[in-house]
Structure 1
Amino acid sequence: MKFELFIAKRLIGAKDYKSSISAPIIKIAITAIALGVVMMLIAVATGIGLQEKIRDKIAAFNGHIVIHHLDNNNSNTSERPILLAQPFYPSFTSVTGVSHIQAVAKKYGVIRTEDDFEGIVFKGVGEDYRWDYMEEYLVSGRLPNFNDSIKYSKEIMLSTYTAARLNFKLNDQVVVYFMGDNAQRKPRLIAFDVVGFYNSGFEEFDKNYILGDLAQIQRLNKWDKNQVGSFEVFVNDFTEIDQVTGEIYQTIDSFLDATSIKQSYASIFEWLSMFDFNIILIIGVIILVSGINMVTALLVLILERTPMIGTLKALGSNDWSIRKLFLYNAAYLIGKGLFWGNLIGIGLLLVQKYTKIIPLPQETYYVAEVPIFINVWIIILINIGTLLLCLLMLLIPSVVVTKISPSRAMRFE
């Protein structure tokens, strides 16, 4: 065992160490580090959690990237069809990073009741639709069933927002009026069956979208089975969405365009990007405060052990050896703070993750409760970063050891 580590262990285990003048200051330093770790874990888990939750909600209704006609200026309606038989469908093998692609179409409509009406966007989806996103937001009922045995399925999924506004219940019939191809054609109406209610918490989508059978839009627009409105693409890694969007644009035909949700909802993603800066700022401030507390504790420890330092120097120990002794001591205190901080912080995060006891105003944050993202590697990085940065800050005050002369120090014994 190294000499410095041996002396540090003896100091830590000494009884007089726990009842010394420095004991309250050391406890404050450990508490500051523990609270700092708790705050850092909460900031990262909630910040990234909110980003992912909102991102998933937007992707549930649009995919990560939409392939559409260049002249289709309104993404909420499919005016011109795209041939389903594309080189990239049903598998986008020419671009790496794509996990799924699905064909959809959208059409404006109006829900009419005896007392009221509501404008909606009917989103037609097929058998390739990725329901796992929407399944999370299913409040009651079930997902619509579309298969080849039913030529035009009348099952739809309605939002709780629209249902509450127009007083619809499960298994009710919803009559939707669709405009014709031109001004001369009369509106066409179709009666749909409500089989499920969803609530994403994103009012912009909840008050507009109805999910139904793609074949219904193909029939209304007089398209054949090989014609759709657009393609929605999902990526494996959202951080690479800009690169994948560019690659998709280079791959598809010249009359098609590729637009990512970061482009379509730029204001929301600019707001979300502010969370990254806030997280970095919080972590920086907390590490600085924790480091200052440890600097204070280390200085007190050094001053309290001045006679011991003099004795060690008289016995032949060099300045760096004694500095390492106190750095080992400080590392133990930092580690103790990290242990309690992780225990409390991860505990609080797990409680929120599985009980959702802390709510959020959904109209402001698009989620009803504080979302939690837990990543083991991020937690490890926070702990290692805190330990290293605090120790680096402690190198400066440890220079005090070099200023202590053996003859003066030993007079205080």
Structure 2
Amino acid sequence: MNLPLFLSRRIYGGKVETDADDKPIRQKSVSRPAIRIATIGVAIGLAVMIVTVSVVIGFKHTIRDKVAGFGSHIQVENIMSFNTASDFPICINDSMLQLLETIPGIKHAERYAITQGILKTDEDFLGVALKGIGQEYDLSFIQENLVEGELPQFCDSSTKYPLVISKTIAQKLRLKIDDRIFAYFISDEGVKARRFTVKAIYQTNMKRFDDSFCLTDIYATNKLNGWFTDQCSGAELIVDDFDHLETASHNVVKKVNRTLDAYNNTFSSRTITDAYPQIFSWLELLDINVWIILGLMIVLAGFTMTSGLLIIILERTQMIGILKALGARDSMIRKTFLWFSVFIISRGLLWGNIIGIGLVILQQTTGIVTLDPQTYYVSEAPMELNLFYVLLLNIATLFISIFVLIAPSYLVAKIHPARSMRYE
């Protein structure tokens, strides 16, 4: 039988004896306030850690998906487009798309063409970037963020000049669904005017995109740029797993980079982290905040457990003296109190999981905590519950809390059996 475990269970489960008048006769259990404080400290620490990790993971994934929704994970373009501010065409036909989709790590490939223009109403005008897309383009991101209208069927062989704009642009130009608006494009050939019809309005709260980003047919943008039908600005590649983005990018580099298209233009590629380094650098800074908060919460849990254990040891001085008088070793008594601490920590972890996971689920279902979308790019605090990280936090909290209690447990060695018998 494990004697330290047996004694710790008896101590933890001890009750107060009462007389016939229900008055306490003798206190068998340890100090209840000390247990409650230690349990609450562990529970609060774990709950805060679960919420913090869930917020950071959810925030990073939400922002990452929004940026990828506009620029995909990997872009394959003319090498000249990466070196200058101008947009140079590259030939990406059906066979090239099929080749890109066979690269390990790539799930989908789609063409796009960018042109710059000015949208003008009777009262106002606004410079925008028109992104032309075809039938193979994945519209799930725009569909998820659609606030009004329906997405048109985009085409690469003809056009009815559909236009998908952001809510920001719609408010600035006072546009509604089915409104028709002139767009003007300036090139070496002069000014070209086209009349577009607003078919849908989206909102992502990503200011840099919502302020100027519109969608239309790739056929229209190609004609406006004066390119051939098999040319475009480039191809966007969607990877199977974002965590393996660098591996997929390396495969693209080996397969595509520095090769030539049908017009002797050179292919090159870049990842979304290369295209928007400031956004992803900002997201990486969030990890520092997470480590700081995790460290503070671990210190909180360790401090409350240490103070609680000291109170418990002092309260059980007579019991320690009796055990020593009966021949118990200091190591056995230390193990008894460490096992007792495990019971307290386990109960704190249980309540911490209930509170932390409950808050995450509450936010996911209700969105009760709102944010300023102009500052944080989202209208409500995004939370993503990762059970692996929750389990990891539980294990780390348990072992670190026990580890910091090893030193205070040596206090039992200072207790003398004879003196402890007279301890009140």
TM category, shorter: over 0.9
Matches within 5 A, 1:11-410: 11-16=11-16, 22-73=31-82, 78-85=87-94, 87=96, 89=98, 91-94=100-103, 96-146=104-154, 151-180=158-187, 182=188, 185-254=189-258, 255-410=266-421
Query: Counterparts of 1:87 and 1:195 in 2: how far apart (Å)?
Result: 31
Gaps of 5+ in 2: 17-25, 259-265
Q: Could you report, residue by residue, the CA deviation over 1:223-251 in whole angstroms, capped at 9, with x for unpaired residues?
A: 34322211111223323323432332222
Q: Which amino acid aligns with 1:376?
A: L
Q: Which amino acid aligns with 1:164?
A: Q
User: In the TM superposition, what is the alpha-carbon distance from 1:313 to its structure 2 partner?
Assistant: 2.5
Gaps of 5+ in 1: none
Q: Which amino acid aligns with 2:47?
A: V
Q: Which amino acid aligns with 2:152?
A: P
RMSD: 2.2
Query: Counterparts of 1:129 and 1:109 in 2: how far apart (Å)?
Result: 22
Q: Could you report, residue by residue, the CA deviation over 1:301-344 in whole angstroms, capped at 9, with x for unpaired residues?
A: 11111221222233333222221111111111111111111111
Contact 1:90 1:102 in 2 (8 A): no
User: In the TM superposition, what is the alpha-carbon distance from 1:60 to its structure 2 partner?
Assistant: 0.7
User: In the TM superposition, what is the alpha-carbon distance from 1:369 to its structure 2 partner?
Assistant: 1.1
Query: Counterparts of 2:341 and 2:297 in 1: how far apart (Å)?
Result: 18
User: In the TM superposition, what is the alpha-carbon distance from 1:76 to its structure 2 partner?
Assistant: 8.0
Q: Which amino acid aligns with 2:234?
A: S
Shift in CA distance, 189/327, structure 1 to aligned 2, threshold 3 Å: same
Give the aligned length: 408
Contact 2:132 2:219 in 1 (8 A): yes
Q: Could you report, residue by residue, the CA deviation over 1:103-160 in whole angstroms, capped at 9, with x for unpaired residues?
A: 1110011111111111111101112211112222111111221258x72242221101
DSSP-derived class of the 1:201 partner: coil
Contact 1:349 1:372 in 2 (8 A): yes
Task: Give the structure 1 partner of residue 22 of structure 2.
Answer: none
User: In the TM superposition, what is the alpha-carbon distance from 1:186 to its structure 2 partner?
Assistant: 3.1
Query: Counterparts of 1:135 and 1:363 in 2: how far apart (Å)?
Result: 21
User: In the TM superposition, what is the alpha-carbon distance from 1:87 to its structure 2 partner?
Assistant: 4.7
Contact 1:173 1:191 in 2 (8 A): yes
Contact 2:167 2:210 in 1 (8 A): yes
Of all paired residues, the percent bearing the same amino acid is 35
Query: Counterparts of 1:406 and 1:75 in 2: how far apart (Å)?
Result: 83
**Which deviates further from its counterpart, 70-79 or 127-136?**
70-79
Task: Give the structure 1 partner of residue 2 of structure 2.
Answer: 2
Contact 1:90 1:101 in 2 (8 A): no
Q: Which amino acid aligns with 1:97?
A: G
Query: Counterparts of 2:50 and 2:386 in 1: how far apart (Å)?
Result: 10
Shift in CA distance, 144/236, structure 1 to aligned 2, threshold 3 Å: same
Q: Which amino acid aligns with 1:250?
A: K
Shift in CA distance, 231/153, structure 1 to aligned 2, threshold 3 Å: same
Q: Could you report, residue by residue, the CA deviation over 1:73-103 in whole angstroms, capped at 9, with x for unpaired residues?
A: 4898643232325556365323x32222211
**Which deviates further from its counterpart, 113-122 or 211-220?**
211-220
DSSP-derived class of the 1:179 partner: strand
